[in-house]
Amino acid sequence: MKRRTEVIIHLAEITKTFPGGDAHDGALVVLRGISLDVHQGEIIAVVGASGAGKSTLLHIVGTLEKPTSGKVLYDGANVFAMGEEELARFRNERIGFVFQFHHLLPEFTSLENVALPAMIGGKTLAEVRGLALELLREVGLEDRAEQKPPKLSGGEQQRVAVARALMNSPRIILADEPSGNLDSENAKNLHKLIWMLSRNRGQTFIVVTHNEGLAKQADRIVHIADGMIKGAGR
C-alpha cells in the first residue's frame, strides 16, 4: 500500500435519493451517508453488487450529479456551493473521466478527441496539438493519431479515452467500469496503463469495477452495499 499523502477529496455524509422507485414513499434511496477521504496519488477501487450505488457515488464525486445531502470538499472547498458555470469549469480542469463506453466523437480523429477537454476550456487545436500527441504516445497510440474511432479496436478506443481524460492534467481521474467492454487481454493492458499513469504522474484514480484482478491491485478497496460503505481497506 502506498504511504498516505494529503487528503484532496473529503466526502461528508453523502446521501442520494431519486424520486419514484420505492412504492412505500415514492423515492429510491441510493446512498445512505457515505463519508470517505481520498488521498493524493492513490488508486481506490470501488466494488459492490449491481445497484449498490457505486456509479452514483462516482458521479457525485465527479460533480455530474448533486447529492441530496452532505458535502463534497476538494482541497477544503465545497464544490456544490459553486455556481453552474464555475462548477463546469472546475470539472473540466480538475477531473478526468473514463467510462465503460468510451464516448469518443466518431467524426473526430483520435488526436481531436484527446484535445477536446482543452478546446472546451477555450484553447485551439493548434495550441494543444503537441500535448495531445504526447498523451497518445504515452498510451501507445501515437501512430493512430489521425484515425477516427470506428477504425480503432475496443482497447484502442479506451486508451484514447484515457488520454483524453489526462488532457487538462486533472488531479483526479474517475473511471466507471473502464474495462467492462474489453476482452481479458485488453482489460489487463488497460489496468497496467492506469497503474503506470498513476505512479508516473502522481494522479489519483477512483475506479468502479467488477474486475477482481483490478481491485486487488488498488491501494485501497472500498466496498459498498445498500448505499453504505461496508469496508474501506485492503
The cell for 160 is: 484514447
Domain-located, residue 194: yes
Residue 49: give its domain's CATH number: 3.40.50.300
Instruction: Please report the pLDDT score of residue 232 as a whole number.
Output: 63
Q: Total structural domains in the chain? A: 1
Q: What is the pLDDT along the chain (234 residues), one digit of tens a residue?
A: 455 578 999 999 999 998 875 545 667 889 999 999 999 888 999 998 888 889 899 999 999 999 999 999 999 899 999 999 999 989 888 898 887 767 899 999 999 999 998 998 889 999 999 999 999 988 889 999 999 999 998 888 888 988 998 888 888 999 888 777 778 887 888 788 888 888 888 889 999 988 777 788 889 999 999 889 986 655
Q: Please give the C-alpha separations between residue 38 and each of 3, 4, 5, in angstroms, as whole numbers.
A: 13, 10, 9
The cell for 97 is: 473521466
Instruction: Please report the pLDDT score of residue 24 as a whole number.
Output: 55
Instruction: Please report the pLDDT score of residue 1 as a whole number.
Output: 47
Domain-located, residue 115: yes
Q: Exposed, middle or buried, 22 (CB in 10 Å: 0-12/13-18/19+)?
A: exposed
Domain-located, residue 7: no
Helix (H) or strand (E) holding 77: strand 77-78
Amino acid at 207: V
Domain-located, residue 79: no
Q: In angstroms, rounded to a whole number, what is the distance separating the alpha carbons of residues 112 and 105?
A: 9
Domain-located, residue 50: yes
Instruction: Please report the pLDDT score of residue 98 as a whole number.
Output: 85
Q: In angstroms, rounded to a whole number, what is the distance separating the alpha carbons of residues 178 and 201?
A: 19
Between the CA atoms of 72, 75, 78 and 83, what dihedral angle is there, to the nearest 10 degrees?
A: -110
Pairing of strands 228-233, 220-225: antiparallel
Domain-located, residue 12: no
- Single pTM value for the model: 0.86
Instruction: List the one residue out of 79, 101, 53, 97 whose CA is nearest residue 222.
Output: 53
Alpha helices, DSSP H only, in the chain?
Answer: 54-61, 84-94, 110-120, 125-138, 154-165, 184-201, 212-217
Contacts of 192 (CB under 8 A, 6+ apart): none
Domain-located, residue 26: no
Domain-located, residue 186: yes
The boundaries of the domain holding residue 219 are 42-64+84-233
Instruction: Please report the pLDDT score of residue 87 as a whole number.
Output: 92
Instruction: Please report the pLDDT score of residue 188 as a whole number.
Output: 81
